[in-house]
A and B are shown apart, each in its own frame.
Chain A
């Protein structure tokens, strides 16, 4: 009998979801859009950044260097400049990212192995990009030198060889796919459930449900179960998108990964029910979940900005956000291929959070009844 009642409830919830275009858009439009936007727009891998040249040498070797830079695919040639006062022109109108100044007698000095100073100007108003582009150009110039003069890349004795483990090509998708999964699951599990319960409060139907023989626990479970299922589908959708479009692997156990997703979804659901318990209207619930949950999850979880470089107080805040721990788990399992022996700690923290939020929801519910 209990199952039949539960099923009747879940069915009704699916009617609500499938008939509301906004909910559907959040459920399926948002994860796809977010993955693709993060993937193609906020990519830190540069293609065809425009570079201007002020070539004082105008000799063969300098042309060869310019050609090599262009053939790298990271850069495309913007304008050829003729005087110093033109240097900033490209930055000011926003058409170029970089200016390279090649000194006179470039060929002669190059083959005589005299020290040469090539000047690189970058747009410091966009410091992250400027640093990345400078690294690119340095390595291109280095390999140009190596090819033409047949000397080892690094003439010094100590040769530093860097290797980016787990993400050798420094693909930004490796960072944002786990982050996006964490955010989307949070939005669906916490925000949508708090909205759907707040909606029943707003329309007054929650009272009818509470007067019915349904136990409050069954009402809550019936409301959150469809969203738990749908967030699972979304998690898999994002994993598949990440794998096929951006080649983000899952190196560890898929079963463990999905189990961790389940724990995180439950954490978010308990937060969602807590939010709905204290909110009277949908707008209220929306504001609380956006300001109290989405913003901190995005900014303080280490998804966009590294936690370790934040002031102490923000680091503390970052560590009370479930998303922080979940991203840690995801990166561990997906990229480093680790198992339970490593991720047990963040998983344990999530468990504690579930207990904590359940306790408060229960307390809040009791005081409401009295």
Chain B
């Protein structure tokens, strides 16, 4: 079984306020090791803010949280070493070649020369990019860039990978391919925390949480959610909640 009975993310009453506005309102949830956890919400529901608190880009106003068994207040530096992150904006440098990008990220995560060499080789072979390794990333199609970006975010073998809308702007076939690589990563024991707008992708997740106005309104497997809201697909579940 891929999913272990061990919490790798624990969040309790996590809150973030910007002045009078409460962006994230006392959310609590847990994510198990090896799980693919879908984090949903309408635009402005607060999911990006919540995610930023988990990865150390934003300090919570109140509440507690643990990521990879490290405290999000006191041990942010240790968390950073154990997580990978792929943002909704594109994470690679367009004016660097594919090889240079991989090396750079290997370098800033403090990998040794031989590790970088070995990782570079593996990524190039896995993604079938060997023939274009010395071309600028700019010249790659978007779908390839996203897969490379995902591979690079795991260059330091993190326990958890946070993906913020990783498949924006590509066709269903490419998205499908991307999800296969997500499954590969999960099968290697990595936990995947993913936000998305595509409801067909939600069906691939082990569990899904749906945020509305800063609160988590639903959290369960896609199957149970559909039952609970008497809907035929996740799209209906989402619309019923978001209204």
Contact = CB atoms under 8 A, between A and B. Distances in A.
A196 B239 CA distance: 42
Contacts of B59: 369-370
Interface of A: 1, 4-5, 7-9, 11-12, 15-16, 19-20, 203-205, 207-214, 369-370
Given A207-B85, A370-B59, A213 B100 contact: no
A208 B85 contact: yes
8 contacts: A4-B110, A7-B107, A8-B107, A11-B104, A12-B93, A204-B90, A213-B109, A370-B58
Given A211-B85, A213-B77, A5 B108 contact: yes
B124 interface: no
Contacts of A5: 107-108, 110
Nearest to B149: A208
Scoring A4, A12, A210, A214 by chain B CB atoms within 10 A of each residue's CB, the highest score goes to A12
Given A12-B96, A203-B89, A369-B57, 8 more contacts: A15-B95, A15-B100, A19-B95, A203-B90, A204-B89, A204-B90, A205-B89, A210-B56
Contacts of B105: 212
B181 interface: no
B149 to A, nearest CB: 9
Contacts of A212: 80, 105, 108-109
Nearest to A17: B95
Contacts of B90: 203-204
B216 interface: no
Nearest to A16: B95
Contacts of A19: 95
Nearest to B59: A370
B139 interface: no
Contacts of B103: 8
Contacts of A15: 93, 95-96, 100
B110 A1 contact: yes
A214 B89 contact: no
A369 B58 contact: yes
A370 B105 CA distance: 26
A277 to B, nearest CB: 15
B55 interface: yes
Ranked nearest first, the 9 interchain pairs of A and B with the lowest CB-CB distance are A8-B107, A204-B89, A211-B85, A213-B80, A12-B104, A208-B91, A19-B95, A207-B87, A213-B81
Interface string B146-180: 00000001000000000000000000000000000
Nearest to B162: A211
B109 A20 contact: no
A253 B236 CA distance: 77
Interface in B95-138: 95-96, 100, 103-110
B83 interface: yes
Contacts, number: 78
Contacts of B95: 15-16, 19-20
A70 to B, nearest CB: 58
B83 A211 contact: yes
A16 B83 CA distance: 27
Given A12-B96, A207-B57, A370-B59, A213 B110 contact: yes
Contacts of B81: 213
A213 to B, nearest CB: 5
A33 B86 CA distance: 43
Among A203, A208, A209, residue most surrounded by chain B Cβ atoms (within 10 Å): A208
A4 B110 CA distance: 7
B87 A209 contact: no
Contacts of B92: 205
Nearest to A219: B108
A289 B194 CA distance: 39
A1 B85 CA distance: 22
A20 B95 CA distance: 8
* Most chain B CB neighbours (cut-off 10 Å) among A20, A209, A370: A370
A323 B153 CA distance: 43
B56 A9 contact: no
A204 B86 CA distance: 10
Contacts of B89: 203-205, 207
A11 B87 CA distance: 23
Contact of A9 (B96, B100, B106, B107): B107
A192 B92 CA distance: 21
Contact of A211 (B57, B94, B110): B57
A4 B96 contact: no
A370 to B, nearest CB: 5
A19 B103 CA distance: 18
